Amino acid sequence: MESQKFRVIIVGIIFDPKKRKVLVGKGKHDPGYSFLEIDLKPDEDLDKELKRVTKEKTGYIIHNLGAVYAENNLSDKEIMKIYFLCEATEGKENKGPTVEDMIWVKPSEAEKKLKTKFPTRLREYLIGLE
């Protein structure tokens, strides 16, 4: 029996508890803003990879507070997205070489800035951060 292969995408919701805002960014070749997304490979450690890519793309050192939402679309796109809340604990904003722009937004404004509609539970969670 052949095993089904699918992509696992780690989504980092970078949160500043002092400002009560989340960080969204736009890559140089991306059409719009998004949360930090990482395509996780089978041999990679989730937490280490999330911290490494966040530092590389944003300049921030984060503390991973854990998974807050998971979304799977295996029947259509064979993708599983796992959202993690990450607190920006240290560092200074420094756009990585593939990042065009980064801005801090209120969690309640993230949907509008990302031009998407979040699942209800994720939207409610984000609004609760304010």
CATH among 3.90.79.10, 3.40.630.10, 3.40.50.300, 3.10.129.10 for 7-128 = 3.90.79.10
CA distances, 3 to each of 6, 42, 54, 74 (Å): 10, 14, 31, 13
Residue 109, SS3 per DSSP: helix
Report the distance separating Cα 113 and Cα 42, nearest Å: 31
Q: What is the pLDDT along the chain (130 residues), one digit of tens a residue?
A: 345 577 889 999 999 999 999 999 999 988 899 999 999 888 889 999 999 999 999 999 999 999 999 987 656 668 889 999 999 988 888 988 999 999 999 999 999 999 999 999 999 999 999 9
Q: How far apart are CA 16 and CA 117, in angstroms?
A: 22
pTM (2 d.p.): 0.88
d(CA 101, CA 109): 17
